[in-house]
Amino acid sequence: MRHLGGFVHAIGGFARDRSGNLAVLFGMVASVLALGVGFAVNVAQLYNAKSSLQGVVDAAVTSTARDLTTGVIKEADANKSVQAFLDANSRAGILQADRIVLDKLTIDRTAKTVQADAHVDLGLYFPLFRMGDMKRVAASTTALYSDKTIEVAMMLDVTGSMAGQKIIDLRTAAKNAVDSFLDGQDSSNPRVRVSIVPYANSVNAGALAASGVYVETSTSQRKQAPGNGAIQYVSGLMRPDNCATERKGTYQYSDVGPDISMVNRDYLLSSFAWQTGTAACPAAALKPLTADAAALKNVIKNFVASGGTAGHIGVQWTWYMLSESWGSVMNASQRPAKADPNKVAKIAILMTDGEFNLSYFDASTVGEVYNDAGKEPTRTSAKTLCTAMRDKGIEIFTIGFDLNEENAKATLQNCASPDTAKIKHFYQAANGAELNQAFQDIARNIESLALTK
């Protein structure tokens, strides 16, 4: 029994010694784990800081590139723009760092790029080994910009079916679009100009009527209009209004200027308007390209819903507002730039709430202007004009407002430019809010259009 007791005593001593060893071992493991946790926390902190800083720098450079493209700022202001964006995020505490520092901003005028290099000095949660208590985190990003000018012509439906809330919604959406296109730029040297073309039975050509529109005074004159100075030209004193219908003959689907072929004011227009109880042309006259937001809004506030949907006539005049061929009859500030995809982006926005349903060029009597059989010629004419516009490099967006006719949708889809991976060109709006959003989506894409075309 004495031997057995000694054995038990020996075992107990070993156990006591092992307990001490385990304590030491546990302490060592705990220290290693603490270091590992601290290192992991630092790595996570640095990763999050790097990701957040990259996002801030990306947004700052993208925003600045967009403002350069749309003319909101000049190249000389780019550095200030990026630094202001970084400072705003510093104050917001996005990175838990004292300040985001812009190390360098490079504008490459040849490649049309803006590059920013920035950093933050980050205080680490767990200073370890040679890491110290501060770590510099850097980020760099590059974005494209464009120095192209941008011309936007908006064809807006003011036909009878737009009466009531719809015309109110259009006024709001169109005014907001004007603001989105023009706000913030130098009005004395604008990068973006906007034109408005209201349409219904015809287009009110305003001041352009005197030099661009030929008034037919008899059925025998229902043919291709003459150029300026022709014997049959009707002077402003004899002009009953500033209405314009289709150009006829050889140049019907062309953007040649009125010196080559004037646009007709069809002989049947007045009779058609009288028989249908509608206005011969919209109360609001078209407005050629301008950077004057107040002038454009003054046109919009005069929108009155009346008349049928001569959509092809609206398309035709939208094209003229973007065509250099019409510059000779416009004031210098209104003249469209010479077509050059490297220098100017030309954009047409075609908006309607219904099916194109009347035309004059194929009608012999008033009864043939507006009937079921007459809808196909105006749709075909519109699509032909749209194709010709796209062939000239004009980007076309279309907006259907509360459409309930398949032919109307098909015409707008056919007129629109092809979609890209990022930009769609045909919009459907069921109400005023969606109409406004459609215009805003297009407005936000103008810098992308300037960059890619």
* CA 68 – CA 153 distance, rounded (Å): 21
Phi, psi at 319, each rounded to 5°: -65, -45
Residues 89, 169, single domain; the answer is no
Share of the chain above pLDDT 70, in %: 79
Token code pair at residue 414: 């056919």
Domain count, the chain: 2
Residues 106, 250, single domain; the answer is no
Instruction: Tell me the range of 11-25, 204-218, 427-441 where mean pLDDT is highest.
Output: 427-441
Least reliable range by pLDDT among 185-189, 333-337, 357-361:
185-189
Maximum distance among all Cα pairs of the chain, rounded to whole angstroms: 144
Residues 362, 412, single domain; the answer is yes
Token code pair at residue 237: 């004193």
Position 26 pLDDT exceeds 70 = no
* CA 114 – CA 62 distance, rounded (Å): 8
Residues 337, 230, single domain; the answer is yes
Supply the DSSP symbol for 234: P
Residues 342, 367, single domain; the answer is yes
Residues 302, 289, single domain; the answer is yes
**Does residue 179 belong to any structural domain of this protein?**
yes
Mean pLDDT of 369-392: 88
* CA 253 – CA 249 distance, rounded (Å): 9
For residue 304, which of 156, 163, 153, 175 has the smallest C-alpha distance?
Answer: 163
Position 59 pLDDT exceeds 80 = yes
Q: Of 118, 144, 170, which closes a domain?
A: 144
Residues 202, 343, single domain; the answer is yes
CA pseudo-torsion sign 367, 373, 375, 377: negative
pTM: 0.75
3-state secondary structure of 452: helix
Number of C-beta neighbours around residue 444 at 10 A:
12
- Which position has the higher pLDDT, 97 or 51? 51
Q: Over the range 67-103, which residues count as b (16 or more CB within 10 Å of their CB) and which as e?
A: bbbbbbbeeeebbebbbebbeebbeeebbebeebbbe
Residues 301, 179, single domain; the answer is yes
Q: Specify the length of the chain in residues.
A: 453
Residues 122, 159, single domain; the answer is no
Task: Quick: pLDDT tens for 208-246.
Answer: 999 999 988 776 666 655 554 344 445 445 788 999 999
Q: Which helix (H) or strand (E) holds 67?
A: helix 2-70
**Does residue 414 belong to any structural domain of this protein?**
yes
Least reliable range by pLDDT among 19-23, 104-108, 371-375:
19-23
Residues 286, 358, single domain; the answer is yes
3-state secondary structure of 366: helix
Residues 184, 221, single domain; the answer is yes
Q: pLDDT value at position 41?
A: 60
Q: What is the CATH number of the domain that holds 275?
A: 3.40.50.410
Using alpha carbons, list the distances in angstroms from residue 387 to 254, 316, 414.
11, 12, 9
As a whole number, the mean pLDDT across the chain is 84
**Does residue 6 belong to any structural domain of this protein?**
no
* CA 22 – CA 319 distance, rounded (Å): 87
Token code pair at residue 252: 């019907």
**Does residue 69 belong to any structural domain of this protein?**
yes
Q: pLDDT value at position 307?
A: 94
Q: Of 84, 112, 144, which closes a domain?
A: 144
The helices-and-strands tally (H runs, E runs) of the chain is 11, 13
3-state secondary structure of 198: strand
Q: pLDDT value at position 160?
A: 95
Q: Of 114, 144, 174, which closes a domain?
A: 144
Residues 327, 420, single domain; the answer is yes
The parent domain of residue 46 ranges over 20-144
Q: pLDDT value at position 45?
A: 65
Quickly tell me which residue has 């398949």 as its tokens.
406
